[in-house]
A and B are shown apart, each in its own frame.
Chain A
Amino acid sequence: MSCFVRTKRLSLFLVKLVGKSSLSPHILCSSSWFCCPRKTAPYCVPSSALLQIRFWAAASTSDGLTLQAILANNWSILDENDGDWKSHASAIARSIHLIKRRLQWDKLKPRLDMLSFQLNKADFWDDPMRAAKLSREHGSLLGKMKLVNALEQDLLDHIDLIKLARQDNDAHLESESLKALVNMRKNAKEKELEALLAGDQDSCSCYIEIQAGAGGTESMDWAAMVMQMYMSWAQRRRYKVTVVDEMPGEIAGIKRATIKVDGEFAFGYAKAEIGVHRLVRISPFDSNKRRHTSFAAVAVIPILGDGSTHVQINESDLRIERFRAGGAGGQHVNTTESAVRIVHIPTGVTATCQNERSQHQNKASAMAVLQSRLDQLELARQAQLNAQHTKSLTDITWGSQIRSYVLHPYRMVKDLRTNYEVSDPDSVLEGDLDGFILSYLSASLDKDDDA
């Protein structure tokens, strides 16, 4: 924003202060610390206290326009490049409204109050694990609330500026403010997407597991294509990808594989991919060039970051095995094959790794996978969750088809949950999955909401 607009903004602030005698609290919130002008000495109030006041007082422009009012006006939303301020304002208001819904805005305030109450109790830190967890949640909720309030405030300020500019016949200010509003519209759209990923584990890294369905080489080849699709998708998103475990098929493709996707929100996005993926094509393995249908199942497991949710694993509950054709072992054998499988005896959960160069490291990687699987089981048990994204590969029945990839006789990829479809399977197989993922995430969140 230009220096010119900034001074205008300041003058607007003064107009508001002087013109309206009541000091409406929302004005006080544009920065995180506020120095109250009415005190003789600068007096700083932490923003959280103010935010809580403001939560109740609906923000408005100087002529009383509120977010609700903008929504109610139902101004038509035109393309970003044309349209007047009302179109932009309306688009932004919609985004803010969606974000609020996704954050479960109505429940946010009571939850925050409850947390503040806990935080202020004298014995709060007696249980440091719990205290850390609650204060993290408090911080995170407060952050979200601040963000949304700031968005709302900015929108109203921009509208004020535009009106002011019109009053003053200041064409320059008007066009600058309009530009700012357009920028804000883009920003709000991004925030809207981010709000899709507000789940507890969404920000985690994850493992993606792929398993070939029945049908031999045909399906194993498809499973390998699916694995490649996720590796490319992850690379596009600039996540770090590593193959933890890969069991090749006899002739082509893979029987199963586990890849690790490292980076923020990897789980939040990838969880949209859980289920069975179906392929229809002319088989490259069929000399008669017949059409084949193949299946691959995908499971996604979050890698929980903080230690508090980790399941304690007892060394004595583990059985560690090496894959290797019999024989004497030890000094008799020189092999670079050092795959390891770990079985957690009480639960029967297993994990394997064969991609590291030492057995020790294979064991460490397999342990990490096992830890995540057990954590996931435990989470599901605790929360009695039956949501899709806690399913493991073994739980995924071959009936839970989520997407169909057709290469022949026509070309199309269609998501069976959202009906989102594209006609270019190649780009999808090259990892262009975000359209599918985002449409699924918004659909499922909005569905939760309506329920």
Chain B
Amino acid sequence: MKVTLTSVYSPYCFPTLLKSSSLSTLCRPFCSSALPSPPTCVKPQVPIFLRPPIYSNKLCDLNKWHDWAKGVAFSIGSTFVHSDNGPDSSILCRELKWLMEDAVEVPSLDDERVRMRIDIEELYCLWKQRVHERRPFQYVVGCEHWRDLVLSVQEGVLIPRPETELVVDFVSDVVSENEELKRGVWADLGTGSGALAISIGGVLGSGGGRVIATDLSPVAVAVAAYNVHRYCLQDKIELREGSWFEPLKDMEGKLAGLVSNPPYIPSKDISGLQAEVGRHEPRLALDGGIDGLHALLHLCDGAALLLKPGGFFAFETNGEQQCKALIDYMENNRRGSFCNLEIRADFARIQRFVIGFRQ
């Protein structure tokens, strides 16, 4: 089955006359189980901290909820740590503090009442979901703090990870030394919440550089669009819905840069994931096929085709093994396409990224 989506978000996506045979294979989504239904209009949810403080509650009721929630958090101890490396009580308590920050308007109305962005009843529900159903905290509050951004997230969109923050540093280093790349067109493939695209949009500054962000998931595209709007970057960042390079047919040999954090977890590992991830985050965002390399290898091929000479790329991977496999693939199967290949570690010392340039 072949997807041809001309997204409402991509005015520039005119059908290109294809002569390249390689593109037709590149455009095939490999994950057929995850085909989106026709682009229904997904309405992004508003994170709690952005909602108007329309509820007024008694301070003592809020305290009561807080004490109850704290008790629930403490009752967990390190049970989740032992079962699947999940959060312990101290992490849950910190989350509780942040939930309060997001839900309660400061300063309070007076000594007895506070203004809130959601009702107390709902707070009870949310905290039960957080602890008993292991619903990720970021879905509960509807946002994730990532670099200097606060990004809206919701079920169906991957919560951006701290590791990925480093990709922006790589790009920032590269463009600070190369004006041409700074003024060029960049792509973020599988943009999810739009985290990388938005940060890179910021890094490129006002010099004319722009970013095209793609995702196969309509929910991701809608949420990314919402976030792009929040940071007023709609003139710099264009969203296109579709599988990997399929919406980028017009960019062959033109990209100044390409970044991606594609799904890279080997399929067999999915069932053992921490509950917050395995039960709640979209499989489409995580499952990288048998060896986890499915999307990554596909991206290497596409990078060879779409990057212009001297163009930069950065991919996030599952770790040392995948990094080495990618380098091996690029040096042998794509001989002559890339140069200055490098493996970079994340802050936990895990070899996490492969970066390099188009020859």
Task: Please tell me if the beta carbons of A336 and B91 are within 8 angstroms of each other in the complex.
Answer: yes
Task: Please tell me if the beta carbons of B147 and A360 are within 8 angstroms of each other in the complex.
Answer: yes
On chain A, the residues within 8 Å of B349 by CB distance are 321
> Is A320 interfacial (CB-CB < 8 Å)?
yes
> Is B60 interfacial (CB-CB < 8 Å)?
no
* Stretch of A114-122, A325-333, A399-407 lying at the B interface: A325-333
> Is B290 interfacial (CB-CB < 8 Å)?
no
> Is A113 interfacial (CB-CB < 8 Å)?
no
On chain B, the residues within 8 Å of A335 by CB distance are 87, 91
> Is A340 interfacial (CB-CB < 8 Å)?
yes
Task: Please tell me if the beta carbons of A358 and B146 are within 8 angstroms of each other in the complex.
Answer: yes
Task: Please tell me if the beta carbons of A358 and B145 are within 8 angstroms of each other in the complex.
Answer: yes
Task: Please tell me if the beta carbons of B148 and A336 are within 8 angstroms of each other in the complex.
Answer: no
Task: Please tell me if the beta carbons of A320 and B347 are within 8 angstroms of each other in the complex.
Answer: yes
Task: Please tell me if the beta carbons of B274 and A330 are within 8 angstroms of each other in the complex.
Answer: no
Task: Please tell me if the beta carbons of A358 and B263 are within 8 angstroms of each other in the complex.
Answer: no
> Is A418 interfacial (CB-CB < 8 Å)?
no
Closest-CB distance, B308 to chain A (whole angstroms): 29
On chain A, the residues within 8 Å of B94 by CB distance are 336-337
Task: Please tell me if the beta carbons of B273 and A329 are within 8 angstroms of each other in the complex.
Answer: no
Task: Please tell me if the beta carbons of B350 and A329 are within 8 angstroms of each other in the complex.
Answer: yes
A373–B183 CA distance with the chains assembled, in angstroms: 38
A336–B264 CA distance with the chains assembled, in angstroms: 21
A-B contact count (CB 8 A): 96
A200-241 residues at the B interface, CB under 8 angstroms: none
* Stretch of B22-30, B154-162, B224-232 lying at the A interface: B154-162
Complex partner residue of A321 from B85, B274, B347, CB under 8 angstroms: B347
Task: Please tell me if the beta carbons of A330 and B352 are within 8 angstroms of each other in the complex.
Answer: yes
With A336-B98, A358-B162 given, is the CB distance from A331 to B90 under 8 Å? no
A328–B317 CA distance with the chains assembled, in angstroms: 11
Complex partner residue of B352 from A248, A329, A337, CB under 8 angstroms: A329
Task: Please tell me if the beta carbons of B318 and A330 are within 8 angstroms of each other in the complex.
Answer: yes
With A320-B347, A358-B165, A360-B148 given, is the CB distance from A334 to B159 under 8 Å? yes
With A334-B276, A357-B98, A359-B347 given, is the CB distance from A248 to B264 under 8 Å? no
Closest-CB distance, B119 to chain A (whole angstroms): 24
On chain B, the residues within 8 Å of A359 by CB distance are 162, 165, 347
Complex partner residue of A331 from B87, B149, B286, B348, CB under 8 angstroms: B286
B254-272 residues at the A interface, CB under 8 angstroms: 261, 263-265, 269
On chain A, the residues within 8 Å of B114 by CB distance are none
Complex partner residue of B85 from A322, A327, A340, A361, CB under 8 angstroms: A327
On chain B, the residues within 8 Å of A179 by CB distance are none
Task: Please tell me if the beta carbons of A334 and B162 are within 8 angstroms of each other in the complex.
Answer: no
User: B158-175, CB under 8 A of A: which get 1 and which 0?
Assistant: 110111010000000000
Chain A: CB-nearest residue to B143: A357
Task: Please tell me if the beta carbons of A331 and B277 are within 8 angstroms of each other in the complex.
Answer: yes
A361–B91 CA distance with the chains assembled, in angstroms: 18
Closest-CB distance, A241 to chain B (whole angstroms): 15
A324–B85 CA distance with the chains assembled, in angstroms: 11
On chain A, the residues within 8 Å of B317 by CB distance are 330
> Is A273 interfacial (CB-CB < 8 Å)?
no
On chain B, the residues within 8 Å of A321 by CB distance are 347-349
A276–B348 CA distance with the chains assembled, in angstroms: 35
Task: Please tell me if the beta carbons of A336 and B318 are within 8 angstroms of each other in the complex.
Answer: no
Closest-CB distance, B357 to chain A (whole angstroms): 21
Most interface-central of B145, B277, B316 (chain A CB within 10 A) = B145
A330–B81 CA distance with the chains assembled, in angstroms: 17
A287-307 residues at the B interface, CB under 8 angstroms: none
Closest-CB distance, A72 to chain B (whole angstroms): 56
> Is B95 interfacial (CB-CB < 8 Å)?
yes
On chain A, the residues within 8 Å of B319 by CB distance are 328-330
On chain A, the residues within 8 Å of B85 by CB distance are 325, 327, 333
Task: Please tell me if the beta carbons of B145 and A361 are within 8 angstroms of each other in the complex.
Answer: yes
On chain A, the residues within 8 Å of B162 by CB distance are 322, 338, 358-360
With A337-B91, A356-B145 given, is the CB distance from A332 to B277 under 8 Å? yes
Task: Please tell me if the beta carbons of B352 and A333 are within 8 angstroms of each other in the complex.
Answer: no
A330-359 residues at the B interface, CB under 8 angstroms: 330-338, 340, 356-359
Most interface-central of A332, A333, A338 (chain B CB within 10 A) = A332
Closest-CB distance, A387 to chain B (whole angstroms): 36
A366–B158 CA distance with the chains assembled, in angstroms: 27
Task: Please tell me if the beta carbons of B277 and A329 are within 8 angstroms of each other in the complex.
Answer: no
A356–B146 CA distance with the chains assembled, in angstroms: 10
A352-379 residues at the B interface, CB under 8 angstroms: 356-361
> Is B346 interfacial (CB-CB < 8 Å)?
yes
A345–B347 CA distance with the chains assembled, in angstroms: 15
On chain B, the residues within 8 Å of A357 by CB distance are 98, 145
With A334-B136, A358-B162, A359-B347 given, is the CB distance from A248 to B145 under 8 Å? no
Task: Please tell me if the beta carbons of B158 and A331 are within 8 angstroms of each other in the complex.
Answer: yes
With A327-B85, A357-B98 given, is the CB distance from A334 to B165 under 8 Å? no
Chain B: CB-nearest residue to A359: B162
A358–B52 CA distance with the chains assembled, in angstroms: 24
Most interface-central of B158, B165, B261 (chain A CB within 10 A) = B165
Chain A: CB-nearest residue to B101: A357
Task: Please tell me if the beta carbons of B347 and A340 are within 8 angstroms of each other in the complex.
Answer: yes
On chain A, the residues within 8 Å of B81 by CB distance are 325
> Is B211 interfacial (CB-CB < 8 Å)?
no
> Is B281 interfacial (CB-CB < 8 Å)?
yes
Task: Please tell me if the beta carbons of B90 and A248 are within 8 angstroms of each other in the complex.
Answer: yes
> Is B313 interfacial (CB-CB < 8 Å)?
no
With A320-B347, A321-B347 given, is the CB distance from A331 to B161 under 8 Å? yes
A322–B165 CA distance with the chains assembled, in angstroms: 13
B80-94 residues at the A interface, CB under 8 angstroms: 81, 85, 87, 90-91, 94
> Is B285 interfacial (CB-CB < 8 Å)?
yes
With A334-B277, A334-B281 given, is the CB distance from A328 to B145 under 8 Å? no
> Is B127 interfacial (CB-CB < 8 Å)?
no
Task: Please tell me if the beta carbons of B281 and A329 are within 8 angstroms of each other in the complex.
Answer: no
Q: Which residues of B contact A (CB under 8 A)?
A: 81, 85, 87, 90-91, 94-95, 98, 136-138, 144-149, 158-159, 161-163, 165, 261, 263-265, 269, 273-274, 276-277, 281, 285-286, 316-319, 346-350, 352
28 contacts between A and B (CB under 8 A): A327-B85, A329-B319, A329-B348, A329-B352, A330-B318, A330-B350, A331-B263, A331-B285, A331-B286, A332-B269, A333-B161, A333-B274, A334-B161, A334-B277, A334-B281, A335-B91, A336-B91, A336-B95, A337-B91, A337-B94, A357-B98, A358-B145, A358-B146, A359-B162, A360-B146, A360-B147, A360-B162, A361-B145
Q: Can you list the 8 inter-chain pairs with the closest CB atoms, starting with the nearest?
A: A357-B145, A359-B162, A358-B145, A360-B147, A322-B347, A334-B276, A322-B348, A338-B162
Known: A331-B277, A334-B159. 9 other contacts (CB 8 A): A322-B346, A322-B347, A328-B350, A329-B346, A330-B352, A332-B274, A337-B91, A337-B94, A358-B162
Q: Which residues of A contact B (CB under 8 A)?
A: 248, 320-322, 324-325, 327-338, 340, 356-361
